[in-house]
Amino acid sequence: MVKFDKSLRDVETSLKTQIALMCPSDIEGVVVKIRKDTGSFFSFTLRLAISEKDAALGWVKEFEEKSLTTYRVSSTFAENTPRVVFRRNFRCIQNCYPKKNVMKPHEKHTNCRGTVSTVIKEKVKKSRDKYLRRYPCEVNVNWFHNHTINYEALKYRRPSQLGPTFAGYFANGHSPSSALELHKMKLQTEYADDYYKVVTDGSRCPKQVWCYHLYYKIFQKTCRDPCFDDMLESLTKYIEEYNVQCEDTCATMSKDITNHDLVVSICSPLSKRVLTMKSVREIMFVTSSGVNVCTKKTTRRLKRNCKVIFLLSPSVAGALPLGIIVSTCEREVVITKGLEMLRDMWKEPDFSPKVIISDDSEVERKSFKKMFPISAVLLCKYNVLQTV
């Protein structure tokens, strides 16, 4: 519990209360000096019953939690000297010391002058320090923060302790975004009504960019860049397992070794049930999307391009899937091959809808006209309006 020296009787009660609330109460101490500055700025000197380094650092951590501030080490000194056991100075995290050539520093930089310094003095026989024997640790706090002090300001804390936790999420198959959502759900379950306080603390709930940085950092250490043969082997194994699980041929793959082009056709058990509906033979919608992911590093650049084509049928419940075609390119011969494999899995060689509404892709329309010659291939109304 923190007490106040008798010489501080004339200090404002409100200021004493503020100091008492921000100091940890589990360690005995006494405030020996308080200096009031302009506005809300002030500083004080505190003596604590601490004689070890770990205890002093632990007190600083607790002080950060109670005062809603964050500090970084600004300077260190030699330890276990004849007069000083431990000494370290800290600065507010919102003073980044940006370089002179930086035009726009980080948003958290406010040139804050808030500091904390800790000194554990060696107990000597002849000393004029009346607090040395009982309170060998001296803490000087300069409360000169020029930014808001609330839970929102804690977002700049570093999530250093969360590395193993998120590594476990990634090991269980989570992506960076799903791992962050899972972590937030656990925090909400644990803290309930205080969740809004915890979720803004960067040391407990990191930003999404940190999750991605850690994910790729771990991935590069444990995995190498897959080559074509490795991806082909892995994909073949996955398709075989999927067909065994479905107890039917629901996915097939075709490959072109010369151009390294792949096409995978998927017709799930649900899609085969959709084929029994009457509306399937009336109209079929085709929608596609391209994926272009580029990971840029200092020495290399890795690109992966895929074309995903969805075949859908309308119903009173919405669009129902007829099949999916995934290819590594947009060549007509590759897409046509994907449609051939998909029709083989349908087990209806004469299947041909009356109308096929496709995207604005000439390659796709040619492939569908070739596979369904008696069907009317029309352009989607949305794409027509775009060309006007």
- Chain center to CA of 19: 36
Query: Phi/psi zone of residue 323: left (φ > 0), alpha (ψ -120 to 50 degrees), beta?
Result: left
- Averaged pLDDT for residues 264-269: 93
What is residue 77's predicted lDDT score, i.e. its pLDDT? 93
Q: Which residue has the tokens 């070794």?
A: 257
Q: Which residues contact 249 (CB under 8 A, 6 or more apart)?
A: 243, 345
State mean pLDDT over 286-305: 52
Q: What percent of the chain has pLDDT over 70?
A: 88
Lowest-confidence pick of 59-68, 93-102, 196-205, 370-379: 93-102
The pLDDT tens digits of the residues spanning 93-145 come to: 888 877 667 666 767 778 888 999 999 999 887 788 888 989 999 999 999 99
pLDDT-derived band at 299 (thresholds 50, 70, 90) equals: very low
- What is the tens place of the pLDDT at every residue in 351-375? 888 999 888 788 888 999 999 999 9
Q: Which two tokens stand for residue 297?
A: 């590093």
Q: Tell me what pLDDT residue 311 has.
A: 92
Mean pLDDT of the chain: 85
Q: Which two tokens stand for residue 51?
A: 């004689």
Q: Is the pLDDT of residue 302 over 50?
A: no
Q: How confident is residue 242, by pLDDT bands cut at 50, 70 and 90?
A: very high
Please say if the pLDDT value at position 381 is more than 80: no
Instruction: Please state, in angstroms and rounded to a whole number, the distance separating the CA atoms of residues 348 and 343.
Output: 7
Residues 312 and 321: beta-carbon distance below 8 Å = yes
pTM score above 0.85: no
Q: How confident is the model at residue 226 (pLDDT cuts 50, 70, 90)?
A: low
pLDDT > 60? residue 295: no
Give 124's contacts (C-beta < 8 A, 6+ positions apart).
Answer: 83, 132
What residues does each domain of the chain span? 2-150, 157-222, 228-387
Q: Residue 215: in which H helix or E strand, if any?
A: helix 208-222
Q: Alpha-carbon distance 185 to 174, whole Å? A: 14
